[in-house]
Amino acid sequence: MSAKKANLSGELKKYFGFSTFKGQQEEIIENLLNGKDIFVLMPTGGGKSLCYQLPALISEGTAIVVSPLIALMKNQVDAVNGLSSESGVAHVLNSSLNKTQTKQVFDDITSGRTKLLYVAPESLIKEDYVDFFKDVKISFVAIDEAHCISEWGHDFRPEYRNLKSIIDKIADVPVIALTATATPKVQDDIQKTLGMTNALVFKESFNRANLYYEVRPKVNVDREIVKFINERKGKSGIVYCLSRRKVEEFAQLLQVNGINALPYHAGLDQKVRVANQDKFLMEDADVIVATIAFGMGIDKPDVRFVIHYDFPKSLESYYQETGRAGRDGGEGYCLSFYDPKDIEKLEKFLAQKPVSEREIGLQLLNEVVGYAETSMSRRQYILYYFGEIFDPITGEGAKMCDNASNPPKLKDATEDLKKVLEL
Ligand code: ADP
Ligand code: MG
Protein backbone atom coordinates (compact mmCIF):
# COMPACT_ATOMS: atom_id res chain seq x y z
CA MET A 1 0.00 0.00 0.00
CA SER A 2 2.64 2.52 1.02
CA ALA A 3 4.77 1.67 -1.99
CA LYS A 4 1.77 2.28 -4.18
CA LYS A 5 1.10 5.59 -2.47
CA ALA A 6 4.61 6.80 -3.05
CA ASN A 7 4.18 5.65 -6.60
CA LEU A 8 0.98 7.62 -7.19
CA SER A 9 2.59 10.78 -5.82
CA GLY A 10 5.46 10.18 -8.19
CA GLU A 11 3.09 9.85 -11.13
CA LEU A 12 1.25 13.00 -10.03
CA LYS A 13 4.50 14.92 -10.03
CA LYS A 14 5.64 13.39 -13.29
CA TYR A 15 2.51 14.11 -15.31
CA PHE A 16 0.98 17.16 -13.64
CA GLY A 17 3.87 18.72 -11.75
CA PHE A 18 1.83 18.86 -8.51
CA SER A 19 3.47 17.69 -5.29
CA THR A 20 0.32 16.86 -3.33
CA PHE A 21 -3.13 15.54 -4.06
CA LYS A 22 -6.13 17.79 -3.45
CA GLY A 23 -8.83 16.58 -1.08
CA GLN A 24 -9.68 12.93 -1.63
CA GLN A 25 -8.07 12.55 -5.07
CA GLU A 26 -5.54 9.95 -3.99
CA GLU A 27 -8.08 7.64 -2.32
CA ILE A 28 -10.39 7.98 -5.30
CA ILE A 29 -7.64 7.04 -7.73
CA GLU A 30 -6.44 4.10 -5.65
CA ASN A 31 -9.92 2.66 -5.46
CA LEU A 32 -10.56 3.14 -9.16
CA LEU A 33 -7.30 1.38 -9.98
CA ASN A 34 -8.44 -1.45 -7.69
CA GLY A 35 -11.52 -1.92 -9.87
CA LYS A 36 -14.18 -0.19 -7.76
CA ASP A 37 -17.08 1.83 -9.12
CA ILE A 38 -16.77 5.36 -7.81
CA PHE A 39 -19.07 8.32 -7.39
CA VAL A 40 -17.44 11.70 -6.81
CA LEU A 41 -19.35 14.76 -5.55
CA MET A 42 -17.01 17.70 -5.40
CA PRO A 43 -17.68 21.39 -5.95
CA THR A 44 -16.47 23.08 -9.12
CA GLY A 45 -12.74 23.67 -9.03
CA GLY A 46 -12.24 20.76 -6.62
CA GLY A 47 -10.05 18.86 -9.08
CA LYS A 48 -12.36 16.20 -10.46
CA SER A 49 -10.66 15.79 -13.86
CA LEU A 50 -7.43 14.56 -12.32
CA CYS A 51 -9.36 11.74 -10.62
CA TYR A 52 -9.75 10.06 -14.01
CA GLN A 53 -6.90 11.62 -16.00
CA LEU A 54 -4.09 10.32 -13.79
CA PRO A 55 -5.37 6.71 -13.52
CA ALA A 56 -6.03 6.72 -17.27
CA LEU A 57 -2.48 7.79 -18.01
CA ILE A 58 -0.99 4.99 -15.91
CA SER A 59 -3.40 2.19 -16.87
CA GLU A 60 -3.20 -0.22 -19.73
CA GLY A 61 -5.70 0.55 -22.50
CA THR A 62 -7.94 3.53 -23.14
CA ALA A 63 -10.29 5.25 -20.70
CA ILE A 64 -13.55 6.48 -22.22
CA VAL A 65 -14.54 9.89 -20.85
CA VAL A 66 -18.13 10.97 -21.42
CA SER A 67 -18.57 14.73 -21.30
CA PRO A 68 -21.48 16.90 -22.46
CA LEU A 69 -19.77 19.82 -24.18
CA ILE A 70 -17.41 19.80 -27.14
CA ALA A 71 -15.64 22.91 -25.86
CA LEU A 72 -14.97 21.26 -22.50
CA MET A 73 -13.63 18.13 -24.18
CA LYS A 74 -11.32 20.09 -26.48
CA ASN A 75 -9.85 22.03 -23.56
CA GLN A 76 -9.13 18.85 -21.67
CA VAL A 77 -7.66 17.02 -24.66
CA ASP A 78 -5.29 19.92 -25.32
CA ALA A 79 -4.33 20.02 -21.65
CA VAL A 80 -3.65 16.28 -21.46
CA ASN A 81 -1.70 16.24 -24.71
CA GLY A 82 0.36 19.11 -23.35
CA LEU A 83 1.43 16.86 -20.46
CA SER A 84 3.13 14.35 -22.67
CA SER A 85 5.77 14.47 -25.38
CA GLU A 86 3.98 11.76 -27.36
CA SER A 87 1.09 12.59 -29.67
CA GLY A 88 -2.37 11.07 -29.55
CA VAL A 89 -2.44 10.43 -25.79
CA ALA A 90 -5.87 12.05 -25.70
CA HIS A 91 -8.44 12.34 -28.47
CA VAL A 92 -11.99 13.55 -28.97
CA LEU A 93 -14.27 11.33 -30.99
CA ASN A 94 -17.25 13.04 -32.59
CA SER A 95 -19.16 13.44 -35.80
CA SER A 96 -17.19 16.50 -36.87
CA LEU A 97 -14.14 14.36 -37.63
CA ASN A 98 -13.63 13.29 -41.25
CA LYS A 99 -12.80 9.71 -42.26
CA THR A 100 -9.02 10.11 -42.09
CA GLN A 101 -9.20 11.75 -38.69
CA THR A 102 -11.51 9.08 -37.33
CA LYS A 103 -9.17 6.38 -38.62
CA GLN A 104 -6.23 8.08 -36.89
CA VAL A 105 -8.15 8.04 -33.59
CA PHE A 106 -9.04 4.36 -34.00
CA ASP A 107 -5.43 3.48 -34.92
CA ASP A 108 -4.07 5.31 -31.89
CA ILE A 109 -6.50 3.45 -29.64
CA THR A 110 -5.68 0.07 -31.18
CA SER A 111 -1.95 0.64 -30.81
CA GLY A 112 -2.43 1.49 -27.13
CA ARG A 113 -1.10 5.02 -27.55
CA THR A 114 -4.37 6.74 -26.60
CA LYS A 115 -5.02 6.80 -22.86
CA LEU A 116 -8.05 9.08 -22.81
CA LEU A 117 -10.84 9.18 -25.34
CA TYR A 118 -13.41 11.94 -24.89
CA VAL A 119 -16.86 11.27 -26.35
CA ALA A 120 -20.19 13.03 -26.21
CA PRO A 121 -23.00 10.67 -25.17
CA GLU A 122 -24.75 11.01 -28.53
CA SER A 123 -21.61 9.76 -30.30
CA LEU A 124 -21.07 6.89 -27.93
CA ILE A 125 -24.42 5.43 -28.96
CA LYS A 126 -23.27 4.91 -32.57
CA GLU A 127 -23.17 1.23 -33.44
CA ASP A 128 -19.88 1.41 -35.36
CA TYR A 129 -18.22 2.92 -32.34
CA VAL A 130 -19.72 0.42 -29.91
CA ASP A 131 -18.51 -2.44 -32.12
CA PHE A 132 -15.04 -0.97 -32.25
CA PHE A 133 -14.83 -0.43 -28.48
CA LYS A 134 -15.83 -4.04 -27.83
CA ASP A 135 -12.64 -5.25 -29.47
CA VAL A 136 -10.10 -2.94 -27.85
CA LYS A 137 -8.76 -2.68 -24.31
CA ILE A 138 -10.81 -0.21 -22.27
CA SER A 139 -9.37 0.65 -18.83
CA PHE A 140 -12.49 2.27 -17.33
CA VAL A 141 -15.33 4.64 -18.16
CA ALA A 142 -15.55 8.13 -16.63
CA ILE A 143 -18.80 10.07 -16.73
CA ASP A 144 -18.10 13.73 -16.14
CA GLU A 145 -20.88 16.21 -15.33
CA ALA A 146 -22.93 13.16 -14.34
CA HIS A 147 -25.84 15.33 -13.12
CA CYS A 148 -26.82 15.65 -16.81
CA ILE A 149 -28.48 12.26 -16.23
CA SER A 150 -31.06 13.72 -13.87
CA GLU A 151 -34.11 15.82 -14.57
CA TRP A 152 -33.60 17.21 -11.06
CA GLY A 153 -30.21 18.57 -12.09
CA HIS A 154 -29.63 21.94 -13.70
CA ASP A 155 -28.56 20.64 -17.08
CA PHE A 156 -30.56 17.57 -18.03
CA ARG A 157 -29.42 15.80 -21.24
CA PRO A 158 -31.69 12.96 -22.34
CA GLU A 159 -28.77 11.20 -24.11
CA TYR A 160 -27.15 10.63 -20.72
CA ARG A 161 -29.95 8.30 -19.70
CA ASN A 162 -28.84 5.58 -22.16
CA LEU A 163 -25.28 5.44 -20.94
CA LYS A 164 -25.67 2.45 -18.68
CA SER A 165 -26.87 0.10 -21.41
CA ILE A 166 -24.14 1.24 -23.80
CA ILE A 167 -21.37 0.83 -21.25
CA ASP A 168 -22.66 -2.66 -20.49
CA LYS A 169 -22.37 -3.50 -24.19
CA ILE A 170 -18.84 -2.16 -24.48
CA ALA A 171 -17.00 -3.70 -21.56
CA ASP A 172 -17.18 -4.87 -17.98
CA VAL A 173 -14.95 -2.18 -16.51
CA PRO A 174 -15.11 0.14 -13.50
CA VAL A 175 -17.16 3.31 -13.87
CA ILE A 176 -16.37 6.63 -12.23
CA ALA A 177 -19.14 9.24 -12.24
CA LEU A 178 -18.34 12.83 -11.25
CA THR A 179 -20.44 15.89 -10.59
CA ALA A 180 -20.50 19.23 -8.81
CA THR A 181 -24.21 18.85 -8.17
CA ALA A 182 -24.96 17.31 -4.83
CA THR A 183 -28.62 17.47 -3.99
CA PRO A 184 -29.68 14.13 -2.54
CA LYS A 185 -32.29 13.75 -5.31
CA VAL A 186 -29.78 14.15 -8.11
CA GLN A 187 -27.30 11.88 -6.37
CA ASP A 188 -29.89 9.17 -5.99
CA ASP A 189 -31.02 9.54 -9.58
CA ILE A 190 -27.46 9.26 -10.92
CA GLN A 191 -26.66 6.16 -8.90
CA LYS A 192 -29.89 4.40 -9.86
CA THR A 193 -29.71 5.28 -13.55
CA LEU A 194 -26.11 4.15 -13.83
CA GLY A 195 -26.69 1.03 -11.74
CA MET A 196 -24.10 2.30 -9.27
CA THR A 197 -25.94 1.92 -5.99
CA ASN A 198 -22.97 -0.04 -4.63
CA ALA A 199 -20.37 2.48 -5.75
CA LEU A 200 -17.94 4.04 -3.28
CA VAL A 201 -19.14 7.59 -2.71
CA PHE A 202 -16.68 10.43 -2.14
CA LYS A 203 -18.34 13.65 -1.16
CA GLU A 204 -16.58 16.88 -0.29
CA SER A 205 -18.11 19.89 1.40
CA PHE A 206 -19.91 22.32 -0.87
CA ASN A 207 -19.35 25.24 1.45
CA ARG A 208 -17.84 28.22 -0.35
CA ALA A 209 -16.75 30.18 2.68
CA ASN A 210 -15.43 33.19 0.76
CA LEU A 211 -18.75 33.95 -0.95
CA TYR A 212 -21.10 36.55 0.52
CA TYR A 213 -24.80 35.90 -0.19
CA GLU A 214 -27.37 38.68 -0.29
CA VAL A 215 -30.95 38.77 -1.54
CA ARG A 216 -32.67 42.12 -2.07
CA PRO A 217 -36.26 42.84 -2.98
CA LYS A 218 -36.50 43.72 -6.65
CA VAL A 219 -37.24 47.43 -6.50
CA ASN A 220 -35.20 50.04 -8.39
CA VAL A 221 -33.17 47.11 -9.60
CA ASP A 222 -31.48 48.97 -12.47
CA ARG A 223 -30.32 51.78 -10.25
CA GLU A 224 -29.17 49.43 -7.49
CA ILE A 225 -27.08 47.33 -9.84
CA VAL A 226 -25.47 50.35 -11.49
CA LYS A 227 -24.58 51.70 -8.05
CA PHE A 228 -23.24 48.33 -6.89
CA ILE A 229 -21.01 47.96 -9.97
CA ASN A 230 -19.81 51.57 -9.85
CA GLU A 231 -18.61 50.97 -6.32
CA ARG A 232 -16.42 48.19 -7.73
CA LYS A 233 -14.85 49.92 -10.70
CA GLY A 234 -12.56 47.73 -12.78
CA LYS A 235 -13.58 44.52 -11.06
CA SER A 236 -14.90 41.51 -12.97
CA GLY A 237 -18.50 40.46 -12.58
CA ILE A 238 -21.38 38.58 -14.16
CA VAL A 239 -25.02 39.73 -14.29
CA TYR A 240 -27.49 36.93 -15.01
CA CYS A 241 -30.89 37.66 -16.60
CA LEU A 242 -33.47 35.07 -17.63
CA SER A 243 -34.31 36.38 -21.10
CA ARG A 244 -32.14 37.25 -24.08
CA ARG A 245 -34.01 40.51 -24.54
CA LYS A 246 -33.29 41.57 -20.97
CA VAL A 247 -29.63 40.67 -21.44
CA GLU A 248 -29.33 43.03 -24.41
CA GLU A 249 -31.34 45.82 -22.82
CA PHE A 250 -29.46 45.69 -19.57
CA ALA A 251 -26.01 45.46 -21.15
CA GLN A 252 -26.91 48.66 -23.01
CA LEU A 253 -28.15 50.30 -19.87
CA LEU A 254 -24.86 49.54 -18.14
CA GLN A 255 -22.91 50.86 -21.12
CA VAL A 256 -24.91 54.09 -21.09
CA ASN A 257 -23.96 54.38 -17.43
CA GLY A 258 -20.28 54.18 -18.27
CA ILE A 259 -19.81 50.54 -17.33
CA ASN A 260 -17.69 48.38 -19.60
CA ALA A 261 -20.27 45.62 -20.10
CA LEU A 262 -21.05 43.17 -22.92
CA PRO A 263 -24.00 40.85 -23.59
CA TYR A 264 -23.85 37.06 -23.91
CA HIS A 265 -26.66 34.70 -24.89
CA ALA A 266 -27.19 31.76 -27.21
CA GLY A 267 -29.12 33.88 -29.74
CA LEU A 268 -26.14 36.08 -30.55
CA ASP A 269 -24.10 35.39 -33.63
CA GLN A 270 -21.47 32.77 -32.78
CA LYS A 271 -18.61 35.18 -33.61
CA VAL A 272 -20.00 37.93 -31.41
CA ARG A 273 -20.65 35.52 -28.59
CA VAL A 274 -17.13 34.09 -28.61
CA ALA A 275 -15.63 37.57 -28.98
CA ASN A 276 -17.60 38.89 -26.00
CA GLN A 277 -16.65 35.92 -23.87
CA ASP A 278 -12.98 36.34 -24.79
CA LYS A 279 -13.08 40.06 -24.01
CA PHE A 280 -14.44 39.25 -20.58
CA LEU A 281 -11.83 36.56 -19.97
CA MET A 282 -9.03 38.84 -21.19
CA GLU A 283 -10.24 41.74 -19.03
CA ASP A 284 -11.18 43.94 -21.99
CA ALA A 285 -14.67 44.01 -20.53
CA ASP A 286 -15.40 44.22 -16.82
CA VAL A 287 -18.92 42.90 -16.80
CA ILE A 288 -20.74 40.28 -18.82
CA VAL A 289 -24.53 40.39 -18.86
CA ALA A 290 -25.68 36.88 -19.70
CA THR A 291 -28.31 34.21 -19.77
CA ILE A 292 -27.52 30.86 -18.21
CA ALA A 293 -25.87 29.95 -21.54
CA PHE A 294 -22.79 31.62 -20.07
CA GLY A 295 -20.65 29.83 -17.57
CA MET A 296 -20.35 26.09 -17.84
CA GLY A 297 -16.67 25.27 -18.16
CA ILE A 298 -15.61 28.90 -17.89
CA ASP A 299 -12.84 29.24 -15.38
CA LYS A 300 -12.13 32.88 -14.61
CA PRO A 301 -10.61 32.88 -11.13
CA ASP A 302 -11.08 36.55 -10.22
CA VAL A 303 -14.80 37.12 -10.79
CA ARG A 304 -15.58 39.43 -7.84
CA PHE A 305 -19.37 39.50 -8.07
CA VAL A 306 -22.27 37.59 -9.54
CA ILE A 307 -25.57 39.44 -9.72
CA HIS A 308 -28.90 37.81 -10.44
CA TYR A 309 -31.13 40.42 -12.02
CA ASP A 310 -33.76 37.66 -12.14
CA PHE A 311 -33.78 34.87 -9.61
CA PRO A 312 -32.79 31.49 -11.12
CA LYS A 313 -35.29 28.65 -11.54
CA SER A 314 -33.68 26.38 -8.97
CA LEU A 315 -31.37 26.61 -5.97
CA GLU A 316 -29.06 24.30 -7.81
CA SER A 317 -28.65 26.83 -10.63
CA TYR A 318 -28.26 29.57 -8.04
CA TYR A 319 -25.42 27.67 -6.39
CA GLN A 320 -23.67 26.91 -9.70
CA GLU A 321 -24.01 30.47 -10.98
CA THR A 322 -22.99 32.22 -7.76
CA GLY A 323 -20.17 29.67 -7.56
CA ARG A 324 -18.45 31.39 -10.48
CA ALA A 325 -17.48 34.19 -8.10
CA GLY A 326 -14.29 34.06 -6.05
CA ARG A 327 -12.79 30.91 -7.55
CA ASP A 328 -9.37 32.17 -6.46
CA GLY A 329 -10.52 32.26 -2.84
CA GLY A 330 -10.74 36.08 -2.86
CA GLU A 331 -13.84 38.23 -2.50
CA GLY A 332 -17.00 36.90 -4.14
CA TYR A 333 -20.18 38.93 -3.69
CA CYS A 334 -23.40 37.19 -4.71
CA LEU A 335 -26.28 39.63 -4.98
CA SER A 336 -29.71 38.50 -6.13
CA PHE A 337 -32.92 40.38 -6.72
CA TYR A 338 -36.14 38.67 -5.79
CA ASP A 339 -39.69 39.49 -6.80
CA PRO A 340 -42.51 37.03 -6.07
CA LYS A 341 -44.14 38.23 -9.33
CA ASP A 342 -41.22 36.76 -11.28
CA ILE A 343 -41.91 33.42 -9.66
CA GLU A 344 -45.58 33.67 -10.64
CA LYS A 345 -44.54 34.26 -14.24
CA LEU A 346 -42.34 31.18 -14.18
CA GLU A 347 -45.20 29.17 -12.69
CA LYS A 348 -47.50 30.27 -15.51
CA PHE A 349 -44.88 29.26 -18.00
CA LEU A 350 -44.56 25.83 -16.38
CA ALA A 351 -48.32 25.35 -16.58
CA GLN A 352 -47.94 24.75 -20.33
CA LYS A 353 -45.41 21.96 -19.84
CA PRO A 354 -45.99 18.19 -19.58
CA VAL A 355 -47.01 17.05 -16.10
CA SER A 356 -43.73 15.52 -14.92
CA GLU A 357 -41.68 18.49 -16.05
CA ARG A 358 -44.19 20.86 -14.47
CA GLU A 359 -44.12 19.07 -11.14
CA ILE A 360 -40.36 19.07 -10.96
CA GLY A 361 -40.23 22.71 -12.03
CA LEU A 362 -42.77 23.78 -9.40
CA GLN A 363 -40.98 21.98 -6.63
CA LEU A 364 -37.67 23.57 -7.61
CA LEU A 365 -39.37 26.98 -7.59
CA ASN A 366 -40.78 26.34 -4.12
CA GLU A 367 -37.28 25.75 -2.85
CA VAL A 368 -36.13 28.98 -4.49
CA VAL A 369 -38.91 30.93 -2.75
CA GLY A 370 -37.99 29.34 0.58
CA TYR A 371 -34.40 30.45 0.17
CA ALA A 372 -35.21 33.95 -1.03
CA GLU A 373 -37.64 34.59 1.82
CA THR A 374 -35.73 32.94 4.64
CA SER A 375 -34.31 34.90 7.54
CA MET A 376 -31.90 32.14 8.54
CA SER A 377 -28.26 31.81 7.50
CA ARG A 378 -28.25 31.52 3.70
CA ARG A 379 -25.16 29.35 3.78
CA GLN A 380 -26.89 26.98 6.20
CA TYR A 381 -29.94 26.91 3.92
CA ILE A 382 -27.96 26.10 0.76
CA LEU A 383 -25.82 23.48 2.44
CA TYR A 384 -28.85 21.84 4.00
CA TYR A 385 -30.26 21.59 0.49
CA PHE A 386 -27.10 19.67 -0.44
CA GLY A 387 -27.56 17.34 2.51
CA GLU A 388 -24.90 19.04 4.66
CA ILE A 389 -25.29 20.22 8.23
CA PHE A 390 -23.77 23.68 8.73
CA ASP A 391 -23.36 25.41 12.07
CA PRO A 392 -24.55 29.00 11.50
CA ILE A 393 -22.53 30.30 14.45
CA THR A 394 -19.18 28.53 14.22
CA GLY A 395 -19.13 27.19 10.64
CA GLU A 396 -16.61 28.52 8.15
CA GLY A 397 -18.02 31.67 6.54
CA ALA A 398 -20.89 31.82 9.04
CA LYS A 399 -21.07 35.62 8.95
CA MET A 400 -20.97 35.86 5.17
CA CYS A 401 -24.55 36.62 4.29
CA ASP A 402 -27.09 39.39 4.71
CA ASN A 403 -29.12 37.50 7.31
CA ALA A 404 -26.13 36.59 9.46
CA SER A 405 -24.22 39.85 9.31
CA ASN A 406 -27.23 42.09 9.56
CA PRO A 407 -30.19 40.13 10.92
CA PRO A 408 -33.50 41.51 9.66
CA LYS A 409 -35.28 43.54 12.31
CA LEU A 410 -38.30 41.80 13.71
CA LYS A 411 -40.80 43.25 11.33
CA ASP A 412 -44.23 44.43 12.16
CA ALA A 413 -46.41 41.34 11.74
CA THR A 414 -49.51 43.33 10.79
CA GLU A 415 -48.49 43.30 7.12
CA ASP A 416 -48.39 39.50 7.10
CA LEU A 417 -51.63 39.29 9.03
CA LYS A 418 -53.37 41.60 6.57
CA LYS A 419 -52.34 39.30 3.74
CA VAL A 420 -53.75 36.29 5.52
CA LEU A 421 -57.02 38.06 6.30
CA GLU A 422 -57.47 39.12 2.68
CA LEU A 423 -57.39 35.48 1.58
P1 ADP B 1 -13.48 20.41 -11.40
O2 ADP B 1 -13.65 19.56 -12.63
O3 ADP B 1 -13.70 19.68 -10.13
O4 ADP B 1 -14.26 21.68 -11.46
P5 ADP B 1 -10.79 20.71 -12.37
O6 ADP B 1 -10.53 19.30 -12.62
O7 ADP B 1 -11.10 21.57 -13.56
O8 ADP B 1 -11.96 20.88 -11.31
O9 ADP B 1 -9.58 21.31 -11.54
C10 ADP B 1 -9.59 22.62 -11.04
C11 ADP B 1 -8.17 23.15 -10.92
O12 ADP B 1 -7.49 22.47 -9.88
C13 ADP B 1 -7.36 22.95 -12.17
O14 ADP B 1 -6.69 24.16 -12.46
C15 ADP B 1 -6.39 21.85 -11.81
O16 ADP B 1 -5.17 21.94 -12.52
C17 ADP B 1 -6.19 22.08 -10.33
N18 ADP B 1 -5.75 20.87 -9.60
C19 ADP B 1 -6.31 19.65 -9.65
N20 ADP B 1 -5.67 18.78 -8.84
C21 ADP B 1 -4.67 19.47 -8.26
C22 ADP B 1 -3.62 19.13 -7.34
N23 ADP B 1 -3.50 17.90 -6.83
N24 ADP B 1 -2.76 20.11 -6.97
C25 ADP B 1 -2.89 21.37 -7.48
N26 ADP B 1 -3.82 21.74 -8.35
C27 ADP B 1 -4.70 20.82 -8.75
MG1 MG C 1 -14.86 19.37 -14.28
Q: Does residue 327 line the site of ligand 1, with CB under 6 A?
A: no
The pLDDT assigned to 401 comes to 97
DSSP per-residue letters across 164-178: HHHHHHH----EEEE
End-to-end Cα distance, the chain: 67
Going from the Cα of 411 to the center of ligand 2, the distance in angstroms, rounded, reads 44
- Our answer on whether the CB atom of 44 is closer than 6 Å to any ligand 1 atom is yes
Q: Is 333 left (phi over 0), alpha (psi -120 to 50) or beta?
A: beta
For the beta carbon of residue 98, count every other beta carbon within 10 angstroms. Answer: 8
d(CA 8, CA 65): 21
Q: What is the pLDDT of residue 1?
A: 46
Determine if ligand 1 sits within 6 Å of the CB of residue 297. Answer: no
pTM of the model: 0.84
Report mean pLDDT in 10-residue bins for the chain, 423 residues.
70 94 97 97 91 97 92 85 88 90 96 95 90 96 94 82 92 95 90 94 95 97 98 97 97 98 96 94 95 82 96 94 93 98 95 93 95 96 94 96 77 52 48
Q: Is the CB of 31 under 6 A from ligand 1?
A: no
Residue nearest to atom 12 of ligand 1 (CA): 47
Distance 48 CA to ligand 1 centre (A): 7
**What letter does residue 68 receive in the DSSP assignment?**
S
What was the pLDDT predicted at 423? 42
Calculate how far, in angstroms, residue 22's C-alpha sits from the geometric centre of ligand 1.
8
- Distance, CA 49 to ligand 1 centroid (Å)? 7
3-class secondary-structure state, position 20 = coil
Q: Ligand 1 centroid to 21 CA: how many Å?
A: 10
The per-type count for the chain, helices as H runs and strands as E runs, is 18, 13
| Other C-beta atoms lying within 10 Å of the C-beta of residue 12 | 19
Residue whose Cα lies nearest atom 25 of ligand 1: it is 18
Q: Confirm or reject: Cβ of 47 under 6 Å from ligand 1.
A: yes
Give pLDDT, residue 420.
Answer: 52
ipTM associated with this complex: 0.99
CA 374, CA 359: separation in Å to the nearest integer? Answer: 23
Residue type, 129: Y
Beta-bridge mates of residue 178: 40
Predicted local confidence at residue 83, as pLDDT: 86
Does the Cβ of 15 fall within 6 Å of ligand 1? no
Backbone angles phi, psi at 67, to 5 degrees: -145, 145
SS3 60: coil
Q: Answer yes or no: is the C-beta of 392 below 6 A from any ligand 1 atom.
A: no
Compute, in angstroms, the gap from residue 48 CA to the centroid of ligand 2.
6
Could you tell me if the CB of 276 is within 6 A of ligand 1? Answer: no
Residue 72: what pLDDT?
79
Q: Is the dihedral of CA 206, 210, 216, 222 positive or negative?
A: negative
CA of 78 to the centre of ligand 2 (A): 15
Angle at 85 between CA 79 and CA 86, to 5 degrees: 95
Q: What is the pLDDT of residue 408?
A: 57
Which atom of ligand 1 lies at the shortest distance from residue 44's CA?
4
- Nearest CA to 159 out of 94, 78, 80 is that of 94
